[in-house]
Chains A and B, each alone.
Chain A
Amino acid sequence: MEKDGLELEITELRLGLPGRDVAEKMMKKRGFTEMIMTSSGSNSDQCESGVVSSGGDVEKVNDSPAAKSQVVGWPPVCSYRRKNSCKETSTTKVGLGYVKVSMDGVPYLRKMDLGSSQGYDDLALALDKLFGFRGIGVALKDGDNCEYVTIYEDKDGDWMLAGDVPWGMFIESCKRLRIMKRSDATGFGLQPRGDE
């Protein structure tokens, strides 16, 4: 069961690539938050946030699409059926399920189904969509020039740079994803690109 833990203190929220001004960044962030917070149902009296309902507090999940996909165990389809009947899993042979995706500066995690992407390009698009802004894709493709790097934790527990290995190998070993600021990555223990 997932707790969308606050892994980072919400002191500085920085989204977006360098070159964007702060106001634009904040608007972007508000827009995303608003998507989560707005309720179009008739229960808008209460303050709601559409995050995972694992805490003791009751949080009515609103009907925003992003929030909908985050609720653990909902819709109530048993896990065997989930793994075996989703269209996504039938196109790949890997019964992967979802991996957690965290992004520096965003206080909650997301989950995505790697099996629904066909390759790194697809993954880039999916990640962009997930966090509501462009740029992660750039990070994946043109790593050296971007503020962010996309890394993943593999089966052995090591953090690897995404994009090195063939796609099939990647989705078999990827346990979780993290989009981190390049500036934080140095000294993090990543193997430099091109190292055999």
Chain B
Amino acid sequence: MNYFPEEVIEHIFDSIACHKDRNSISLVSKSWHKIERCSRRSVFIGNCYAINPERLIGRFPSLKSLTLKGKPHFADFNLVPHEWGGFVHPWIDALAKARVGLEELRLKRMVVSDESLELLSRSFPNFKSLVLVSCEGFTTDGLASIAANCRHLRELDLQENEIDDHRGQWLNCFPDTCTTLTSLNFACLKGETNLAALERLVARSPNLKSLKVNRAVPLDALTRLMTCAPQLVDLGVGSYENEPDPEAFAKLMAAIEKCTLLRSLSGFSEVAPRCLPAFYPICQNLISLNLSYAAEIQGNHLIKYIQFCKRLQRLWILDSIGDEGLEIVASSCKELQELRVFPSELHGEEDNNAAVTEVGLVAISAGCPKLHSILYFCKQMTNAALITVAKNCPNFIRFRLCILEPNKPDHVTSQSLDEGFGAIVQACKGLRRLSVSGLLTDQVFIYIGMYAEQLEMLSIAFAGDTDKGMLCVLNGCKKLRKLEIRDSPFGNAALLADVDKYETMRSLWMSSCEVTLGGCKRLARNAPWLNVEIINENENSRVERNEEDEREKVDRLYLYRTVVGTRKDAPPCVRIL
């Protein structure tokens, strides 16, 4: 290949988009490394502290698209303090100063400020796409800057962020000349929306394919929006608490009927059940349906709709659908690839009669041969069911099972669920992501270490007996990238057994386990290329360094490989060893 001129090689590389492949290419030779890095358009950084912006820009000067992830996954469950870190500002600042031609920025679990958004909007004249997932720290003022200044904006996608809604007029800030929008998602905004501005914006965006509005967009406004955007492919609906009057309902249905390209539907938080039938005209076209926020719609209404969605590939739903509902899904949705069933009762102290059980899971596995990803919150499980599921669906890539009660055994045999999960990892040879729950001993981890050869991410909670469990996973899962553990009896012996392993992984999280301060210190000494972070609950409770007890157990440990050493922006509650 080295006999070809660089331009030819570059041309060949252009057709390789996958990050992993490009990373591999760059390792072949110096010249390939150079060609690759100069032509790389899109970079994915799974941990923003693994590298710094200056080195990123140094290596990839032609960068157009950047994806950054900040806080560890368990931050989603309030296990990471708000001030932990993951600030995007230094990145935007550095990219701006280096005059990188940034066009796309995708952030997950990062802290974004209005100043950052303002800087972003002013620094990159070709900026096209901003996707923020589970981020925080900004307000609608920041959105106003993006709207006002990004002349070529195509995509503004805000997913599940905590945004301070100043009830301003950010939608008004899109200039009249802005006609390039293809995707607009502001479902997570809490405040009122300027409906007139929204309607004008949608009307002048002929390429708009995806529109997800927030709860403040009422039925009649939605009708008007859909009437002037019949080309929509992806729609997120607002909230309609009251039953619509017949005329409004008819108008909505008529507008929906015209949206023949509609393939994906979501939203529906606080929606009166009788609004769902308005969407009957397009149900047989739907590929993706997210009703997981529709707490007001009961199982039977959901079923009435879903049973006609014959082409459905992706379904996110609440457990109010029940086992019977899932049986109907299994018999209707033969194309189903991804299913997520979320709990509808999070704090109920009574038994939740609506929750799903192993019966629903088995039904889905039997009825949906293309199923490869599942997230399933249920109140009980059995080994027999899991063994059946494994037989029915050997193609799982992602299998996340959450039995709501920690440590709950097989409800029929009262045994642990080791055998059930063992069957899953043995049958599903392509399994990349696994979350386990229920009563589990070290045995399940022996199975995981033995069989889960492709496993990249493993989540463990309230499981295992001894260090052996964690050791089996670390030794056996060669492709492991992320390991997150909470409330399990794994300690220093497991943590320290193979320090080099962590260089092959992105990160390790351990909270409420048995690792001690002394163990973590030893790890940090033996592995200088790791950042070993101890996250304390209360920085005031820390004793003087020379008094501290190395036998003290560590609340939360988060370690990750990095090429840029200790980060400088850690708050007081985070101690980097």
Contact = CB atoms under 8 A, between A and B. Distances in A.
Contact of B406 (A42, A61, A77, A86): A61
Given A77-B77, A80-B134, A86 B347 contact: yes
A3 B512 CA distance: 12
Given A41-B408, A87-B344, A73 B77 contact: yes
Interface string B475-493: 0000000000011110000
Contacts of B296: 87, 90
B269 A69 contact: no
Contact of B439 (A42, A82, A116): A42
B409 A58 contact: no
A173 B125 CA distance: 44
Given A1-B537, A75-B404, A58 B489 contact: yes
Given A58-B512, A78-B134, A80-B160, A85 B342 contact: yes
Interface stretch (A15-23, A49-57, A140-148, A187-195): A49-57
B563 to A, nearest CB: 30
Contact of A84 (B269, B347, B406, B416): B269
Contact of A73 (B79, B269, B377): B79
Interface string A72-100: 11111111111011111010000100000
Contact of B270 (A1, A3, A90): A90
Interface string B76-113: 11110100000000000000000000000000000000
A113 B347 contact: yes
A54 B407 contact: no
B402 interface: yes
Nearest to B416: A42
Contacts of A57: 512, 553
Contact of A79 (B77, B439, B487, B512): B77
Contacts of A3: 537-538
A76 B511 CA distance: 14
Interface in B184-205: 188, 190
A58 B514 contact: yes
B526 interface: no
Contacts of A116: 347
Nearest to A129: B349
Contacts of B162: 80
B76 A54 contact: no
Given A1-B537, A90-B296, A81 B160 contact: yes
Given A75-B402, A84-B293, A85-B293, A56 B555 contact: yes
B513 interface: yes
B384 to A, nearest CB: 17
Given A41-B407, A78-B160, A80-B188, A86 B514 contact: no
A65 B538 contact: no
B interface, how many residues as a size bin?
Answer: 35 or more
Nearest to A111: B347
B462 interface: yes
A43 to B, nearest CB: 6
Contact of A71 (B292, B406, B416): B406
Given A77-B346, A84-B293, A55 B512 contact: yes
Interface string B57-74: 000000000000000001
A61 B488 CA distance: 11
Counting chain B CB atoms within 10 Å of each CB, which of A55, A82, A85, A113 scores highest? Answer: A85
Contacts of B31: none
Contact of A54 (B77, B295, B512): B512
Nearest to B406: A61
A116 B349 CA distance: 13
A78 to B, nearest CB: 4
A72 B79 CA distance: 8
Given A69-B347, A76-B77, A77-B342, A43 B407 contact: yes
Interface in A108-164: 113, 116
A80 B439 CA distance: 28
A90 B346 CA distance: 13
Contact of A63 (B81, B408, B516): B408
Contacts of B405: 63, 68
Contact of B555 (A43, A55, A82, A84): A55
Nearest to B270: A90
B404 A54 contact: no
Given A63-B405, A85-B342, A56 B377 contact: no
A102 interface: no
B297 to A, nearest CB: 11
A66 interface: yes
Contacts of B513: 56, 58
B346 A82 contact: yes
Given A53-B487, A62-B407, A85-B318, A41 B439 contact: yes
Contacts of B554: 56
Contacts of B404: 68, 75
Nearest to A113: B347
A28 interface: no
B537 A87 contact: no
A113 to B, nearest CB: 6
B422 interface: no
Contacts of A74: 77, 406, 461
A60 interface: yes
A74 B346 CA distance: 9
Contacts of A72: 77-79
B76 A79 contact: yes
B269 A90 contact: yes
B349 A65 contact: yes
B512 A88 contact: no
Contacts of A71: 406
B462 A60 contact: yes
B177 to A, nearest CB: 34
B398 to A, nearest CB: 15
Given A42-B414, A80-B160, A58 B487 contact: yes
B171 to A, nearest CB: 21
Contact of A75 (B377, B459, B489, B552): B377
A41 to B, nearest CB: 6
A95 B164 CA distance: 13
B118 interface: no
Interface of A: 1, 3, 41-43, 53-63, 65-66, 68-69, 71-82, 84-88, 90, 95, 113, 116
5 closest cross-chain pairs (CB), A and B: A56-B553, A73-B77, A78-B76, A80-B160, A65-B349
Given A63-B405, A75-B404, 10 more contacts: A42-B409, A54-B537, A59-B487, A73-B79, A73-B486, A78-B134, A79-B78, A81-B160, A81-B292, A85-B292
6 contacts: A41-B407, A60-B462, A61-B406, A76-B461, A81-B342, A87-B296
